[in-house]
């Protein structure tokens, strides 16, 4: 059985673990995200020295990760952007290194051991403070010509465009939901409200929250309908904190049915399911990507 060192770099914490070729995680550790690239490598070095028989390093990173190892764009970990992370880590640890975007890693985890196992063409939509995701074509991540494959949140849903507030991320994210309800309730401090609280209020009969959620589900359904007809995937998986709501897919399905009922040309209904993995998806997915790209193991 082969083992790999996997690290998931987030803006607040990094998670590290040993993942074997069966997708089992051990030696899990979580620490505050270091403030410099040198400190990050020191933390990784300290962890690796306590492991044996590690075959390679698999990294889940924020940002637009190129195949050659440079992380473009911006994120909550600024020092990752600019240097060739893949080369730096390879030289430091004398091991093969794989680096991939965090949403793509989450998608690979679903393909390997999760809700998309056995499928080839899938979309993963991550709904949080914004909307992002991943595109998998023929079992492989599709990054696009400009590393923007899976940036579903940039999608426009109407023709009356005034600015950034018209993109899907700004109208169908949990942040958008909170802003809308806070405005309707006249709350001056938006921090008083959370997405979770809005669901609780709706469950208790709050009409403002009920109506806001109905519109929220509809806008999500419109975007998902578009994605189905743009790409025609076998399945669309939903992730992010909102996926904790077990009734989310039923609510979106209902809105999709209403859309299909109005459009005679539409005959295909998206198959929507939740992502299987939550906490450790990026650790698993980065290792799957490592094995797929570096070891050329396509079917596990």
**Domain membership flag for residue 298:** no
Q: How many CB atoms sit inside 10 A of residue 110's CB?
A: 28
**Domain membership flag for residue 44:** yes
Considering the domain architecture, whether residues 99 and 232 belong to the same structural domain is answered as no
DSSP for 97-146? EEEEEHHHHHHHHHHHHSTTTT-SSEEEEEESSSEEEEEEETTEE---TT
Q: Write out the residue range of the structural domain in which residue 136 sits.
A: 117-274
**Domain membership flag for residue 204:** yes
Considering the domain architecture, whether residues 225 and 85 belong to the same structural domain is answered as no
What domain count does the chain have? Answer: 2
**Domain membership flag for residue 300:** no
**Domain membership flag for residue 9:** yes
pLDDT at 177 over 70: yes
pLDDT digits (tens, 9 = 90+) for 31-80: 999 999 999 999 999 999 999 999 999 999 999 999 999 999 888 899 99
Considering the domain architecture, whether residues 176 and 222 belong to the same structural domain is answered as yes
CB of 173 closer than 8 Å to CB of 125:
no
pLDDT at 298 over 80: no
């Amino acid at each position: 059985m082969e083992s790999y060192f996997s690290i998931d770099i987030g803006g607040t914490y990094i998670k590290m673990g040993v993942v074997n070729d069966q997708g089992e995680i051990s030696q899990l550790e979580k620490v505050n995200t270091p403030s410099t690239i040198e400190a990050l490598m020191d933390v990784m070095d300290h962890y690796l020295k306590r492991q044996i028989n590690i075959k390679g390093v698999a990294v889940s990173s924020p940002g637009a990760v190129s195949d050659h190892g440079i992380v473009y764009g911006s994120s909550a970990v600024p020092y990752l952007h600019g240097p060739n992370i893949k080369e730096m880590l390879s030289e430091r640890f004398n091991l093969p290194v794989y680096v991939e975007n965090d949403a793509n890693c989450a998608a690979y985890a679903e393909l390997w051991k999760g809700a998309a196992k056995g499928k080839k063409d899938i979309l993963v939509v991550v709904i949080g403070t914004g909307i992002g995701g991943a595109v998998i074509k023929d079992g492989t991540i599709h990054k696009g010509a400009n590393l923007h494959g899976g940036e579903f949140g940039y999608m426009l849903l109407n023709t009356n465009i005034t600015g950034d507030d018209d993109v899907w991320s700004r109208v169908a994210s949990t942040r958008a939901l909170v802003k809308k309800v806070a405005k309707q309730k006249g709350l001056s401090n938006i921090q008083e409200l959370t997405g979770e609280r809005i669901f609780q209020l709706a469950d208790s009969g709050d009409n403002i929250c009920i109506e806001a959620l109905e519109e929220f589900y509809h806008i999500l359904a419109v975007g998902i309908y578009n994605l189905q007809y743009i790409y025609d995937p076998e399945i669309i998986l939903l992730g992010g904190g909102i996926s904790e709501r077990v009734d989310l897919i039923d609510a979106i399905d209902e809105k999709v049915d209403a859309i299909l009922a109005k459009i005679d040309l539409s005959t295909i209904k998206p198959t929507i399911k939740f992502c299987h993995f939550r906490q450790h998806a990026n650790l698993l997915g980065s290792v799957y990507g490592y094995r797929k790209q570096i070891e050329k193991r396509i079917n596990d």
